[in-house]
Amino acid sequence: MIKANDPTLKSWVEVPKNSDFPIQNLPYGVFKTDYLEPVAGVAIGEYIIDMVYLNEHGYLDGLGLPIGIFNQRYLNDFISLGKPITNAVRERLSELLRHDNSQLRDNKKDRELALIHMDDAKMLVPVRIGDYTDFYSSEQHAYNVGSMFRDPENALLPNWKHLPVAYHGRASSIIPTKVPIIRPKGQTKGPDEAAPSFGPTKRLDFELEMAFIAAGKTEMGENITTADAEDHIFGFVVFNDWSARDIQAWEYVPLGPFLAKNFASSISPWIVTIEALDPFRVAGPQQDPKVLPYLEYEGNHHFDVNLEVDIKPENADALTVSRSNFQHMYWNPCQQLAHHTVNGCNINVGDVFASGTISGSSPDSYGSMLELSWMGTKSITMKDGSERKFINDQDSVIMRGFAEKDGLRIGFGEVETKVLPSL
């Protein structure tokens, strides 16, 4: 039986060259149109499949799907059905969309009503996010930041290679692509200033991250092992964890970031399932010193996903300022989830777990302006001749992620956010 990840599969839906959404991807999202309230959709080429229409017209019969499961604002209830059902839906969609399957292809009415062009849809945050955790799992990023604020010899704190460092962030301010943010205000204090002052951040920054979406609920007192962790991971998104660096520098001691981070995080609208990323698994780094037994794992749980960041000034062309990769992670998602729950912390479907800023070894692969400008000591020249050390008002930051192998490209779409002036 041909499986959904087969690289030879072709669809009767036209898929442009270098599209993020071939038939092997089939990511889930939530969208609305001028005539549709928010419903679940799946991306293929330049189209969104209306999952409500397919389910109500018999195309998904026999999969055990409850009535109305897709006619909801969030995907949480669908994800809660469990991997056997959600994976079966993906396989059925793959069958329906294959070039030689006439069931939907040759039903003109159903085909036209079930497929909606992306230009006619507005994408929304795909899950109801109860909790959000931000890790700090890229060694190069941690080394860069530690070198700036301490010194290269003590860049990594003593605990960094023994556990996945993280903090709990604000879930209510996670927004989808195309939703602008307002430059945040807060207290700042320069090293030569006698007292803090209040005002808009002068060092607004992006953070290039990936995040995974929880697929299973656990109870307080339970823990998830690295061996079982992927059963609790539905899929991944590209994640921009905005940061106000000058506010952060003043407020983060002793408890960590607060106003510097809670004002906004931007999430890509499509959840690429972990199953779709199977062909792009790679080995992780050798971890030295040896981790404690509960953090040990077997197999490949890192993913080769290319990541890019563009800055687009208003009325000017965009410039790609960073090219990184998700595989630049010291701690993988299975270790992150095992550590998160080892103390009995419960998780819920739809919870978001972000990777932390992902930086590679070369300066053009750093995942934040803090690193690219090396704490404001260097400038990046835009295509219009203007310079950036951090993000200006009216700039748009555009992030994208895609995996490529043997002619197959699996992508996440773009997450684009424009910065508006402080109120």
Catalytic (active-site) positions:
141
Q: Do 284 and 241 contact (CB within 8 A), yes or no?
A: no
- b/e per residue 261-278 (b: at least 16 CB within 10 A): bbbbbbbbbbbbbbbbbe
Unique residue bearing structure tokens 């070039």? 99
Q: How many residues does the chain have?
A: 423
How many other β-carbons are positioned within 10 Å of the β-carbon of residue 221?
A: 10
Q: Which two tokens stand for residue 64?
A: 């055990």
Q: Identify residue 294 by its one-letter amino acid code.
A: Y
Q: How far is the C-alpha of 317 from the C-alpha of 115, rounded, in Å?
A: 32
Q: How far apart are CA 321 and CA 144, in angstroms?
A: 17
* CA–CA gap between residue 93 and residue 60 (Å, rounded): 8
Classify burial at 322, counting beta carbons within 10 Å of its beta carbon; exposed 0-12, middle 13-18, buried 19 or more: buried
Other Cβ atoms less than 10 A from the Cβ of 374: the count is 15
Conformational region of residue 255, where left means phi above 0, alpha means psi within -120 to 50, and beta covers everything else: alpha
C-alpha distances in angstroms, 148 versus 93, 153, 247, 374?
49, 11, 16, 8
Q: In the beta sheet, which residues pair with residue 408?
A: 405
Provide the residue type at 22 as one letter: P
